[in-house]
Structure 1
Amino acid sequence: MNLPSSAAALLGAVLLTSLTGASGTPAQAAGAKALPNVNMEATVKAAQIDPRRAGSALTPGAKASVLLVERALRDRNLLDAQWVDGHFGTTTVAAYAKYQKSLGYTGLDANGLPGKTSLAKLGAGRFTVTRVIGPGARVSTGGVLVNTRTRDMLAEAERLLGRDLVLDQGSYNPGGDPTSAGTHDGGGVVDISVEGMSPAVRTAAARALRRVGFAAWVRSPEQGDWPWHIHAAAISDTDLSSQAQHQTGDYYLGLNGLAGRNPDDGPQVAIRTWEEYQRR
């Protein structure tokens, strides 16, 4: 049957649209697939915990994302294929740091923890980044320097505790305190005064800090060359120094964050990051 020219033209347009999509491009080739996702929260968590494990166990919920990151590093000749295993161990951290340096980053921006900008660049055309996290701008609070993520975490811990916390030392303080072993060189780490606190209140303060996403411990003079205080490191702060990364990883593994790697001596709570706490 012959169709009027106008009807034929309309039918042709409908067929073309069905093949190409409304935009007129080949239906994103009718077989084009959405890019896989890298969960940044899970990936950063693995980059803190996995290097502290005795073996090659994986961080729950992180394998798929870590594999995507490792394959991208492998394809840039930064990671040998044998290490593409979903375990974000020391070799993968070192490879990611090399990648960050290849982008021109230095210092904390090349600490081996995936930051949102470097991770997005690594994933261009390969994967999209979800659950994006970042430390925020550097700000002054309580007379010391922290970042906005840490400031907000401290404010919520104070709300839970029902009292203000006095900071003895903040973040971004390289070489400022030799006894801190570099943990305060980057972001996310604070020391809190316990002056005037009873042992019960010290413990309650450490518990409140842990609940909002800090790896926090009450430190005594018997443990090192320091006075009584609370040491707290914000889990998954992407500005963490390497030493602070080790502390947060050890916290997940039930350790006390000190060089001797003894059992955790703090109050037991469900371990959450700040982002997980906000979604609870």
Structure 2
Amino acid sequence: MRKVVTAAMVTALSGAALIGTTGQTAVAAPAVNMQAVVKAAMWDPYKPDQSITPGSGDSVKVVEEALAAKNLLDRKQVDGHFGTSTVTAYQKYQKSLGHSGLAASGLPGKGSLAELGKGRYTLTAPIDVGSKTTVDGQTLNKRTADMIEAAEKKAGVNFTITQGSYNAGGVGASGGTHDGGGAVDISVKNLSNVDAAVKALREVGFAAWHRTPSQGDWVAHIHGIAISDTDMSPQAQAQAGDYYLGRNGLANHGKDDGPQVKKVTWEEFKRG
């Protein structure tokens, strides 16, 4: 007997893809929230434990199940924690797609997450860093530029960008943090209240710190990493992890001495 799909059934399955059938019953694909997965990938590898990032566990677990199905991740690691084993598995998956360099760092991007989900899950809440643009002569992606603009409005100042992103090997003292997207250095020369500027940057989704000459071979500036930028380098991702752990993002992993705010991503800030 042919299965009859009623209007009520269609309504119940609204927004979900049909990925198969069990007998004659349609099975709805689970949803993977990209913002939640990337947030976990920013934080989990640097935690001292296996705790799950709030709001991310279900989506991460679905991604891990997809990696396990491709024999890239041991099933005992399918736990909702995007730790180092999951990072390594995802990196292998990215390489299997032909990616290399920063595109195969183990940090999920929209294209690879969508490809991994074919026939398994639907992708929601995508992160799009946008195309490259120029601010003060420095290269940023649109997401980072929008974040800078929002922080300027909060702080009531105009920032001067002294180092941008996508500058592989061009910023020796940065240790690779500017090689990918989301990294920015800001001059403090025109800022009457540097802490207020750092606070505004943090409030819109940057891991940001006031860097001084006593800390390294550089002039005083504000260094920022746009959390959850999917183009960022592994070195920048490690700094975001340090920020979540209350550290300074430097090689000594000292205590964060910046203004304390609720740690958010750009997307969370926009949602208010």
What TM-score do you get using the length of structure 1 for normalisation?
0.88
Equivalent position to 1:227, from 205, 219, 226: 219
Equivalent position to 1:245, from 222, 230, 237: 237
Which stretch has the larger CA shift, 74-83 or 182-191?
Answer: 74-83
* Runs of 4+ with deviation above 6 angstroms: none
Q: Is 2:189 aligned against 1:205? A: no
Q: CA deviation at 1:97?
A: 1.1
The amino acid across from 2:142 in the alignment is: T
Q: Where does residue 9 of structure 1 map in the other structure? A: none
Structure 1 stretches of 5 or more lacking a match?
1-14
Q: Pairwise CA RMSD of aligned residues?
A: 1.7
* CA distance in structure 1 between the aligned counterparts of 2:120 and 2:224, rounded to whole angstroms: 36
Equivalent position to 1:277, from 265, 269, 272: 269
Q: Where does residue 16 of structure 2 map in the other structure? A: none
The amino acid across from 1:71 in the alignment is: E
Instruction: Report which of the two has the higher share of helix.
Output: 1
The amino acid across from 2:271 in the alignment is: R
Q: Where does residue 124 of structure 2 map in the other structure? A: 130
- Give secondary structure in 2 for the equivalent of 1:182: coil
- Give secondary structure in 1 for the equivalent of 2:134: strand
Equivalent residues of 2:157, 2:191 under 8 A apart: no
Q: CA deviation at 1:22?
A: 6.9
- Give secondary structure in 1 for the equivalent of 2:128: coil
- Give secondary structure in 2 for the equivalent of 1:32: strand
Structure 2 stretches of 5 or more lacking a match?
8-20
* CA distance in structure 2 between the aligned counterparts of 1:100 and 1:188, rounded to whole angstroms: 20
Q: Is 2:54 aligned against 1:60? A: yes
Equivalent position to 1:187, from 176, 181, 187: 181
* CA distance in structure 1 between the aligned counterparts of 2:108 and 2:235, rounded to whole angstroms: 16
- Give secondary structure in 1 for the equivalent of 2:242: helix
Q: CA deviation at 1:33?
A: 2.1
The amino acid across from 2:107 in the alignment is: L
Aligned positions of 1:165-184 closer than 5 A: 165-184=159-178
- Give secondary structure in 2 for the equivalent of 1:33: strand
Which stretch has the larger CA shift, 204-213 or 189-198?
Answer: 189-198
Q: Is 2:80 aligned against 1:92? A: no
* CA distance in structure 1 between the aligned counterparts of 2:190 and 2:122, rounded to whole angstroms: 49
* CA distance in structure 2 between the aligned counterparts of 1:271 and 1:112, rounded to whole angstroms: 23
The amino acid across from 2:183 in the alignment is: V
Q: Quick check: which has more Rg, 1 or 2?
A: 1
Q: CA deviation at 1:30?
A: 4.9
Aligned positions of 1:10-25 closer than 5 A: 19-21=3-5
Q: CA deviation at 1:135?
A: 1.0
Q: Is 2:245 aligned against 1:261? A: no
Q: CA deviation at 1:196?
A: 3.5
Q: CA deviation at 1:258?
A: 1.1
Q: Where does residue 30 of structure 2 map in the other structure? A: 36
Q: Where does residue 40 of structure 2 map in the other structure? A: 46
* CA distance in structure 2 between the aligned counterparts of 1:170 and 1:153, rounded to whole angstroms: 13
Equivalent position to 1:110, from 93, 104, 111: 104
Measured against aligned partners, the alpha-carbon deviations of 1:51-108 in whole angstroms (never above 9, x if no partner) come to 1111211111111111111111111111122222211111211111111111111222
Measured against aligned partners, the alpha-carbon deviations of 1:157-208 in whole angstroms (never above 9, x if no partner) come to 111111110011000011111110100000000000001433xx11111011
- The number of residue pairs the alignment matches comes to 259
User: Percent identity at matched positions?
Assistant: 56
What TM-score do you get using the length of structure 2 for normalisation?
0.91
Q: Where does residue 6 of structure 1 map in the other structure? A: none
* CA distance in structure 1 between the aligned counterparts of 2:163 and 2:5, rounded to whole angstroms: 58
- Give secondary structure in 2 for the equivalent of 1:139: strand
Measured against aligned partners, the alpha-carbon deviations of 1:219-269 in whole angstroms (never above 9, x if no partner) come to 111111111100000000000100111111121121111111111111111
